[in-house]
Each structure stands twice: as C-alpha cells, then as structure tokens.
Structure 1
Amino acid sequence: MQIRLQTFTVNKRFALTISRGTTAKTTNLFVRLEHDGIEGWGEASPFSIGETPQTTEALARSLQRVMPLLAPYHPLERDKVDRLLKDSQVPSAARSAIDMAMHDWLGHASGVPLWHLWGLNRENIVPTSVTIGISTPAAAQERVKNWLGMSSEIQSLKVKLGSPAGIAADQAMLQEVMETAPHIKKVSIDANGGWNLKDAVMMSYWLAEQGIDYIEQPLAKGNEDDLQKLYAVSPLPIFVDESCFTSADIPGLVDRCHGINIKLNKCGGLTEATKMIHAAKTFGLGVMFGCYSDSTLMNTALAQLAPLADHLDLDSHLNLLDDPFEGALFQNGRVVPNNNPGLGVALRAKDAAT
C-alpha cells in the first residue's frame, strides 16, 4: 500500500480556552492510503499531554520515516502494521491516521459504511455536547448564544472549568451558562486537570447542586492517587481523559473513576478504540468519545462507533470556518455517520477542485 501525506490548516470560529491554554487554529495531517486502486483516508491532529507534545511536524516526520516500510503490507493486515508502527515508535496520533485509513479502505473495498460492517444501530447514538471554553461570564453567555444560534437542536453542553483565576471564577462562569440555556438539561464539566484535590471535592458537591451530569478529568494526569480519594466522596460520576490513553490503562483506573474518554489521536486508532470500549464495559465503566482540533474526517471516523458510547463530545468540526471535509450529519443534536462506504467522508467541492 502507498501512503501520501498532506497538511491542512483549520481555523476555529471561536478560539477555545481550557486550563492548559488557548487554541484558535491547528495544522492537521491528511493521510491517503492507496491499494488496488482503492483509497482510504485518515487524519492526525496535534495535541499535548505530558512531556512530549505530538506536534504536526513530529507526526509528519514519523510517518515519512515509516512510509517505505508500509509499502509491502495489505490494508487488511492491521495487526502487523500496528506492531510495525509501535516498534518504530510512531506517535499515537500518526498510528491513528494509518489505522483510520485502513478501516476506510476496508469499507470502500466492501462497499458498505463501517457502522454497518460492524452491525451497529445508528438509532442508539446519543446527542453530542458542544463546548464552552474558559472565559468571563459575559463571554460564556455569548458563546452559548452562538451555539444555540447555529442550531436549535443542541441538547447538551460541555463547560470547560479549571480557570487559573480559581473556583470562584469557575462558579460565576457556569452560573451564567446555566442561566443562558435553562432548557438544556444535560450539562457536563471538563476541568482538564485544572483543580487540586481540595477544590475538586468542593466543586463536586457544588456542581451536584447545580444538576451537572458528570465531571471529566478534575485532577491532572499523574495525580491518580488523589483521584481515588475524590472518587470515594464525589456525589458526581468522574470520567478520565488525560489519565487514560489505551485499554492497558483501564484496569488501574477502575477504583478511581466511573468512565473513560476515548480520543482517536490519543489511543492510536479505531482498532484500539474498540478494545477500550469492550474493556471499559467489562469493568462496568461508562464510555465517552472526545476530540481535539479535529475536522469532519476524524469525528466521522469515531462516529462510526458512536452507537456504543454513553456520552459524546464530537463537536470540534462544528466550530471550524474552513473544514475541507464533509461526512457525518448533524441531526437532532447528534453526529450521525451517513450511508456511504467506509467512513463516508468526501472533500468539499472547493477543496476537491484544488
């Protein structure tokens, strides 16, 4: 199989601020895999957790290094390819792009969408949340209005907290959000590791009083011992994101969280995402899907597995000014994969012509 790489830059309609910083645009990688005249597509977007950021440049270098090694393989040899990529120390986001492209190739070769190939029921897909970044209360109010102005079908909000200004600022912002959208009954919180244990305990009780559904990553990665202490007293379910990369991490988190957040860049692709889903459910944990600065291509890929998720946070493509792809549909607040083969993703007309 032959691999081609292309970079593309996506700009957000509204910059997103979390506890670790602000993002207004990213440059992502578009991976095109060709074999027997059939193409499969994948995407990698940069992200940073811990000491080794997965930058666009690092992802591109790693793929260019292994592209000649991938030539002898067939797109159906996912296990062999995954072992080669891991042995070659290819970062997870780059592995995910290759894995995604191999799945897309399989769907095109079979002539059916992946959700259908896996026997999944799209009616089981829950609404996706849309994200409100850290800001002033007034700016948060405007962001909620912008989302609701884009679609009256929005049913769920995810609010980023963990403000450097402290939990009083978090509380003021959330109250403004709740007052601006009183008809939205499902609201979750993502602190992105921005709290210490004392503040997290205090906020868990206060957030429960506000009717919040669950808290995501209240403590920073590396503080899993404190996470266990929070888990023991929190009145709200706790989901982990940065603390859980792959299925291998799940057994060690069973006694300190209620669920996990799966992201393709982070875990290494649809193959590993499937393993994580089954592992989490085996241990009685909830499953949510999330995203970074991903386009329609990547969010459509993860949406293929969306019938298996309890919560969805696949809204990054909805906040892009210049998404080059079209794929999953936004229906009744849900991100729903279409009936086209593979991932069901195509280039928008203006991008296909360039």
Structure 2
Amino acid sequence: MKIDFTLKKLHLKETFSIAYGNYNHRDALLIELSHHKCKGYGECVAIDYYQINLQDFIFKLKAIKHQIEAQKIIHPKDFFKYLSDLNLHSFLLSALDCAYWDLFGKLENKGFLELNNLPSENLVESSITISIGDIKEQINKIEKSDWTQFKVKCKGLHKNDIEKLLQLNKNIALDSNASFTDEDCIWLQENVDIQKFSYLEQPRPIDCYKILNKEGFANWMADEDCQNIDSLEELIPYYKSINIKLMKCGGLTPALEMIKKAKALNYKIMIGCMTESTVGISAGCLLTGLVDFTDLDGANLISNDYATGNFVENGKIVLSEKPGLGIDLK
C-alpha cells in the first residue's frame, strides 16, 4: 500500500459568516491510499476553533509513512485499530480511516453500504446553511432556495428575528455556534413556539451546557460538546440530539459505533460536516440512512470542488453506487 497527501484550498462561493468569524476559504489535506491500481481518498480541513495545523499533520504523516505503507490489506476495522495506536488527531485519523474504507471497497468491488449492511433508501434530506446576516437577507435566501431544510446561523439571541423565522412555516434549525447566554437558553427552552425549530445547535460554549434542560421545548443539539462516543452518557440530561461529524469522532469506523450507542441512549442523531469537498461529503452521505437529521452542504458551499462521488442536490442525498466510498478525483 502507498500513501500520498496534498494540500488543497477550498474557495467558498460567498463569505461564510458564523459566530466564530468570517471565512472565504478553508485549507484542506487530501490523503490518497493506493494498492493494485486502486485509489482511496480521505480529507480533513483546517478549522480555527479546533486549532488545526495541517503542516503538523503532514509532519506526522511523513513520520509514519513507512509504517503505513508496510501494512498488509486487512479489514478496515482492523486497520482502524492499528491507526488508533499511532496517537493521531481525530481529524487526521478520520481522513486515513475514510481513505482506507474507500480503497478497501474498491479492492473488494463493494460499496461501503454493502460492506456494512447499511440502508440505501429513505435517506434523510440535508439542510443548507444560511450564514449570519441581516434577517431580511437570511429570509430572502430561504424563500428563494430550492432546498427544503435550512440551518440558520446567528450570533446571540435576537427575539424579533426568531419570531420572523417562525412565521416562515419552513423547516428551520438554529445554530448560534455557542453565542447564546444562559438567560437566552432559559427563554428558548421555556417558549412553546421554539419547538417549531427542528433543533437548536450548540447554544453555549463547550462544557457550559448545564443550564440546558432537554425536557424543555428546545431540541438542544450538541456539536462541540459531543466530540466522540465518550461524551454521550454525560450529556443525557441536557441534550436531546447530537451532531456527529466524521472529523470530530475520527472517521466512519467510530461514527458507526457512536450511532449505535446514541440510538441506545435515545438521542436524535445528525450527520454533520465542516466546509469540505465531495471527498469528505461522500463519506458522510453513506450514513444518512441511519440518522434523524443531515447537514452535509459543505461541498455545495465551495466553488472549486475537486472530486466526484456521493453528493447533495437541493437537499436530496444522491449516492454514486460505486465501490468503496464512490470517490474519484476530477
């Protein structure tokens, strides 16, 4: 097996504004694993909030390159166990895990769904993100969109804006990126109309969730508070829903285990994404038959997608039905 890795720059179609800042591009690291003329692809991106330095990842990959290339082709779950002993950041671990699933499936001429006996029908539609802006501009984007599910970004609580969004009679979620106060959260979870929002994502900064009451009217969804499977039990009294992102939890292999446990604990589950190309989105799409919400619009927000595979069209998940994760580079 051979490994190659390349830095990419993902250019956004328009400035993306969230509570953490404004962005016009994201830096990405593409990983390619190859064997017997088959190539598997995985990706991770640099996110300021998580203090990701892709140069550190490249340095690590150079250090373990010979070890990885010496590995025989084994089942992806066994390969993940091997990777778990290398002390890798979850973002890098995810890129390697996904690339190996893609390669293994192509070598076996089987898709990820077949390899894991997962559903390919009744896939949950994805939301499209409406970035922070004047409420009139946000509503205009929603009304003009061909999508049917929306995630509206906000910075702090503006009650008049909340009322205007509720009047739209659309499928809308809120994501404050941890910018709500304790008082905001109390008002939201005690307001009966708030249950009209499909979910309210990461209302408070990480580890500041104890003001939340999942028995209230707000469907609180943990994002940054829910990094991996170890987070689930502690969050039970506070959150009804969780956002699983492959880069947060370490890839497809741990995501499958996380979904299984989250269902046993009666969470509603979302498969989410960062700003990613079709390489990353293709992996997430394959889990959408297992969850309650989907937010996989990352590749739709960039202007220079460099891959083809599974994709999202006006919210609908379209699977390539090709082996592995279905990914090819353009």
User: Normalising by the residue count of structure 2, what TM-score does the alignment of the two structures yield?
Assistant: 0.92
- Contact 1:62/1:91 (<8 A) preserved: no
Would you say 1:188 and 2:205 are equivalent positions?
no
- State the partner residue of 1:245: 227
Would you say 1:91 and 2:95 are equivalent positions?
no
Would you say 1:213 and 2:213 are equivalent positions?
no
Within the candidate set 222, 228, 231, 2:214 is matched to: 231
Residue-by-residue CA offset, 1:22-45 (whole Å, 9 max, x unaligned): 221011011000123322111111
- Contact 2:10/2:26 (<8 A) preserved: yes
Deviation at 1:250, TM superposition (A): 1.0
- Contact 2:279/2:327 (<8 A) preserved: yes
Unaligned runs of 5+ in 2: none
Deviation at 1:106, TM superposition (A): 1.5
- State the partner residue of 1:157: 150
Equivalent AA in structure 2 for residue 282 of structure 1 = A
Would you say 1:73 and 2:58 are equivalent positions?
no
* Aligned counterparts of 2:236 and 2:263: Cα–Cα separation in 1: 11
Structure 1 vs Structure 2: percent identity of aligned residues?
25
Within the candidate set 264, 287, 295, 1:313 is matched to: 295
Within the candidate set 336, 347, 351, 2:329 is matched to: 347
- State the partner residue of 1:351: none
277 and 194 in structure 1: CA distance in 2 versus 1, 3 angstrom threshold: same
Within the candidate set 57, 61, 64, 2:62 is matched to: 64
Residue-by-residue CA offset, 1:168-215 (whole Å, 9 max, x unaligned): 2xx444555566xx363x211112111121111213345835721221
Q: How many residue pairs get matched?
A: 330
- State the partner residue of 1:20: 20
Within a 5 Å distance, the mapping from 1:117-196 to structure 2 comes to 117-144=115-142, 148=145, 152=146, 154-161=147-154, 163=155, 166-168=156-158, 171-175=159-163, 177=165, 182=168, 184=170, 186-196=171-181
119 and 331 in structure 1: CA distance in 2 versus 1, 3 angstrom threshold: farther
Equivalent AA in structure 2 for residue 339 of structure 1 = E
- 3-state SS in 2 of match to 1:157: strand
* Aligned counterparts of 2:321 and 2:75: Cα–Cα separation in 1: 25
231 and 178 in structure 1: CA distance in 2 versus 1, 3 angstrom threshold: closer
Would you say 1:328 and 2:310 are equivalent positions?
yes
- State the partner residue of 1:46: 46
255 and 110 in structure 1: CA distance in 2 versus 1, 3 angstrom threshold: same
- 3-state SS in 2 of match to 1:231: coil
- State the partner residue of 2:260: 278
- State the partner residue of 1:2: 2
* Aligned counterparts of 2:33 and 2:305: Cα–Cα separation in 1: 20
Residue-by-residue CA offset, 1:217-272 (whole Å, 9 max, x unaligned): 11111213333xx335x212211010011111111112221121111111110001
Would you say 1:260 and 2:225 are equivalent positions?
no
Equivalent AA in structure 2 for residue 213 of structure 1 = S
- Contact 2:278/2:311 (<8 A) preserved: no
* Aligned counterparts of 2:186 and 2:30: Cα–Cα separation in 1: 42
236 and 328 in structure 1: CA distance in 2 versus 1, 3 angstrom threshold: same
Equivalent AA in structure 1 for residue 17 of structure 2 = T
293 and 209 in structure 1: CA distance in 2 versus 1, 3 angstrom threshold: closer
- Contact 1:135/1:173 (<8 A) preserved: no
Unaligned runs of 5+ in 1: 349-354
Kindly report the root-mean-square deviation, in angstroms, between the aligned alpha carbons of the 2 structures: 2.2
- State the partner residue of 1:199: 184
225 and 330 in structure 1: CA distance in 2 versus 1, 3 angstrom threshold: closer
Residue-by-residue CA offset, 1:120-141 (whole Å, 9 max, x unaligned): 2222211100001111123323
- State the partner residue of 1:352: none
Equivalent AA in structure 2 for residue 215 of structure 1 = L
* Aligned counterparts of 1:202 and 1:195: Cα–Cα separation in 2: 11
Bigger fraction of residues in helix: 1
267 and 174 in structure 1: CA distance in 2 versus 1, 3 angstrom threshold: same
Equivalent AA in structure 2 for residue 92 of structure 1 = S
- State the partner residue of 2:29: 29
Equivalent AA in structure 2 for residue 104 of structure 1 = D
- 3-state SS in 2 of match to 1:275: helix
Deviation at 1:71, TM superposition (A): 1.8
- Contact 2:7/2:30 (<8 A) preserved: yes
Equivalent AA in structure 2 for residue 7 of structure 1 = L
- Contact 2:29/2:45 (<8 A) preserved: yes
